[in-house]
Amino acid sequence: MPHAIDATFMEAARGSARGLTGTAQDYDSLLDLVGTARIVLLGEASHGTHEFYHERAMITQRLIGEKGFTAVAVEADWPDADQIDRCVRGRDQGDWHEAAFTRFPTWMWLNTEVQRFTRWLTKHNQTLTPDERVEFRGLDVYSLRSSIREVLGYLEDTDTTMAREARQRYACMTPWHNDPALYGHFTERRGMATCESEVLEQLQQLLSQRLASMGQDGEALFNATQNARVIHAAEQYYRAMYRGSTTSWNLRDRHMFETLQVVRSRLGRNAKAIVWAHNSHIGDARATQMGDSGQLTLGQLSREAWGEDVVLIGMGTDHGTVAAASDWDGPMQIKKVRPALRHSWERACVEAGHSQALYDWHDDNRQALRSALSTRLLERAIGVIYRPQTERQSHYFEATLSDQFDAYLWFAQTRAITPLATEHSTSHEQDTFPFGI
C-alpha cells in the first residue's frame, strides 16, 4: 500500500526544489550532478507531452556541447532512428521524417519537438569531423519487418549468395510480418515449430563477417548486424508475450540495454550516451512495484553494469493535455490529463506548490529531501494509450522516488506534443504493460 504524503516532504520539497525559468541555465546543477558520468538516462511520464521532449532536448544540447556526449539513444525502432542518424550525421541528404516512423504510434517521434532537436543536432554535427559527430540510435525491439528488409537490402548489395541464404532463413518469419504476435500464439500455444534457429544462424553469420573485418566493417555492415540482432530479439519477444507480461517486458528492456552496450562499444573509450525513454524504462525497477513482480528495467541494468557512471532523471506532471490513443492502432487524440490521485508523487509535488521545479537530492544539504522521498507513493505512467476512465488500474504503480531516480523534473501543467503527421500504417506489434510504454 502507498503511504500518505506527510509534512516532512512538504517542508523538504519547498526548501530544496530548484525553480525552473525556461532557460538552459536551469540545468547548471543537473550538469554538476552528472559530473563525469558517461550515461545519462532522461525519462518522461508520457509519450506525448511537449515539456518532456523540450526539456530533454535542452538538457541533451548542454550535455553534448559542454560534457562531450557522443550518442543519443531513444526508445524507438533501430531502422527509423537510423533515418534520423543518416540526416544528422550527413550520411544522407533530405528530411528524415519523409520515410521514418510510419507505424503506430507515429506521433511519438514524428513531432515538431523531435524535428527541432534534430535540426539543432544536424547543425552541431556540421561543426565536427565525420568521426566526431553525435549519433542518433534506436533501442527498441518492434521493427521485425523493416529490420528484415534492411538485412536483405544490405546483402543484396554486397553478396547475392548470402542474400539468398538470408531470404531462405527469414522466410520462416514471412507469414507473420503483418501480425508477429500471431507467431507467438502459434508457437507457444499451438505447438508450431519456432524460427529461433534460423534467425540466430543469420545473426551469427553477420557477426562472423564483422569479426572477420577486424572492426573495419563500416556503417552498412554494422547497421545490418544490428538489424539482425533486432530480428533475433523480436522472434524471442513475440513468443515471450504468451508466457506473461514480465517475461516479455524483461526481454525488451534487456534488448534495449544490450543495444546501448553495442552503441557504446562501437564508439570506443570516449563513448558518452544520453537515453530518451519512458520513466518506466529509465527508472530503477528495484525501487518500484514493477521490481516487486520481477520486472527489470534499462535503468536498473545500467546501474548494475556501470554504477556511478549512470545518472537517472525522471519527469512528471499533474494535469494538462497529452497526445495519446484510446486503443492500440487507434487515432491519436489530444486528451485531457486528469489531476493526479491522492497518495501519489505527483500530488505531493502539487501540494509542495512549485509549478516547475528540479528536485535533486544528492547534495549534502539536501539529505532531508532524500529522506522525505524514501517512501512508497503512487507514480503515474501514461504511454501511447491513455485511459482516464480506468486511471488507477491502467496508469499507476508504486515507487520510492529517491531510489528510482537521481533527480526529478516537475511540471504542474503540461500540453500535448505537436505531431508532424496524423496518418500511420496499421501495426499489430503491441507494446507491453502498462499500455504502450
pLDDT tens readout for residues 119-144:
999 999 999 999 999 999 999 999 99
Nearest-angstrom CA–CA distance, 265 and 306: 13
366 and 16 Cβ atoms separated by less than 8 Å: yes
Average pLDDT value for the chain? 92
User: Which H/E stretch holds residue 153?
Assistant: helix 144-158
* Closest by Cα among 244, 252, 140, 230 to 184: 244
Domain ranges of the chain: 7-139+260-414, 144-243
Q: How confident is the model at residue 95 (pLDDT cuts 50, 70, 90)?
A: confident
Q: How confident is the model at residue 2 (pLDDT cuts 50, 70, 90)?
A: low
Q: Which residues are within 8 A (CB) of 393 and not within 5 positions of it... i.e. 6 or more apart? A: none
Cell numbers 522516488 correspond to 401
Residue 170 one-letter amino acid: Y
Q: Is the pTM of this model over 0.85?
A: yes
Residue 208 one-letter amino acid: S
50-67 vs 112-125: helix crossing angle, rounded to 10: 10
* Fold of the domain spanning 7-139+260-414: EreA/ChaN-like  fold (3.40.1660)
Q: Residue 194, class by beta-carbon neighbours within 10 Å (0-12 exposed, 13-18 middle, 19+ buried)?
A: middle
C-alpha cell at 163: 542474400
Question: Mean pLDDT across the stretch 48-66?
Answer: 98
Question: Mean pLDDT across the stretch 294-320?
Answer: 99
C-alpha cell at 99: 520515410
Q: Is the dihedral of CA 362, 363, 367, 370 positive or negative?
A: negative
Question: Mean pLDDT across the stretch 192-199?
Answer: 91
Q: What is the pLDDT of residues 373-400, one digit of tens each?
A: 999 999 999 999 999 999 999 999 999 9
Query: In this prediction, what percent of the chain has a pLDDT beyond 70?
Result: 94
Nearest-angstrom CA–CA distance, 21 and 43: 20
